[in-house]
Amino acid sequence: MIDRLTDWFGKNRRELPFRGLGDPYAILVSETMAQQTRMSALVPYYNRFIERFPDVGALAEASETDVLALWAGLGYYSRARALHRTAKAVAEAYGGSLPPDPAALRSLPGIGDYTAGAVASIAFNLPTPAVDGNVRRVYARLFARDGGDAAGWVRSLMDKAPPTVVTESLMELGALVCTPSSPKCGSCPVASFCEAFSAGRVDEFPKKRAKPEKRVEERMICIVTDHNNRVLLRRRTERLLHGMWEFPTEEQLTLDGFTVVRDSKPLRSAKHVFTHIVWLMKGYRAKAERASPPENYLWRRDFADLPLPSAMRAWKETVEVIWGNEQNG
């Protein structure tokens, strides 16, 4: 089976900017970005990130705000903070070079089993499985099985082919052929080995888990402007979107000691869906005063260098319209 898979990979592998470099840092960045993100969306972010932070040292020295600003729009910002933490630890403990040792990789802050396996196998060609959702799905279908030892199976393949090739071909098969919905079994290189396919049970694997219900939060976003038409922004201190900048809510402003007077009529509404939470937002023009704003607030006339999450996109556009109207008189 492994021969069929690796032959197919040799002929069908996508050209990606981090492939074939043997650069552990490039693998670390790309694999961190790839969690929860499609490859087509990832590549432009990866290119910008590597241009700005070409190696561990450059990333370790960057501010968290700069790192988050380059991540803005990719979502799941805890990944960016974890990557930043990893770079700092590697700079300090290993002089800026990722260690060619799975256990040492795993012990770094921000690196879990999957990322350690990906870096160790792809960059260092070590027989360390990297089992993500793609590999788990391929395994579940090939063996028509729920659960089981996917990592052990991948390790057994690494006895028969170079670990680099095993990891990348399994990832590629899961991304291009054995996709979550509508897998292309007709053109699958390992269809003749696939138990779910031969039993006509592909749709049954992997077993679907019931998704937890999302919590709904209603938020009153305040577009606060001063006499120079600067807008008030707040750096988040909460766990969700920590370190990102946002247009504050009325509740946050009040808790942070501002006196708030907002319009009664909303400017618009917007919704943002996270993994576990939904924000239902209504935005209002508002005035907010406080003797001196706390350090996690800023008055700004532009946001280009600030990490604003996708959840703030509607409000950023709203502010740009307000500024455009002001310029047009």
Question: Which of residues 137 and 235 has its CB atom nearest to ligand SF4 in the complex?
Answer: 137
* Residues in 127-186 that interact with ligand SF4 by CB under 6 A: 138, 141-142, 177-178, 183-185
Question: Which of residues 135 and 311 has its CB atom nearest to ligand SF4 in the complex?
Answer: 135
* Residues in 193-212 that interact with ligand SF4 by CB under 6 A: 194, 196-197, 202
Residue choice 190, 244, 286, 308 for contact with ligand SF4 (CB under 6 A): 190
Q: What is the largest distance, in Å, between two alpha-carbon atoms of the chain?
A: 72
- What character string, x for contact with ligand SF4 (CB under 6 A) and - otherwise, covers 21-50? ------------------------------
User: Minimum CB separation from ligand SF4 for residue 177, in Å?
Assistant: 5
User: Minimum CB separation from ligand SF4 for residue 179, in Å?
Assistant: 8
How many other CB atoms are there within 10 angstroms of residue 267's CB atom? Answer: 18
Counting residues that bind ligand SF4 (by CB under 6 A) gives 15
Question: Which of residues 197 and 258 has its CB atom nearest to ligand SF4 in the complex?
Answer: 197
Query: Is residue 31 annotated as a catalytic residue, yes or no?
Result: yes
Task: Find all residues with CB under 8 Å of 298, minimum gap 6, and list them.
Answer: 232, 233, 235, 245, 306
Between strands 277-289 and 215-224, the pairing is parallel
Question: Which of residues 174 and 283 has its CB atom nearest to ligand SF4 in the complex?
Answer: 174
Which segments of the chain does DSSP mark as H helices, in order? 2-12, 24-34, 39-52, 56-61, 64-71, 78-94, 102-106, 113-118, 133-142, 150-157, 163-176, 195-198, 250-255, 313-327
Residue 188 binds ligand SF4 (CB under 6 A): yes
Alpha carbon distances (Å) from 61 to 27, 170, 186, 245? 19, 35, 49, 21
**3-state class of 327 per DSSP?**
helix
Question: Which of residues 171 and 202 has its CB atom nearest to ligand SF4 in the complex?
Answer: 202
Of 15, 31, 168, 326, the active-site residue reads 31
Amino acid at 148: G
Nearest CA to 289 out of 262, 320, 323 is that of: 262
**3-state class of 232 per DSSP?**
strand
Which residues does the annotation mark as catalytic?
A: 31
| Residues of this chain that bind ligand SF4 (CB under 6 A) | 138, 141-142, 177-178, 183-185, 188, 190-191, 194, 196-197, 202
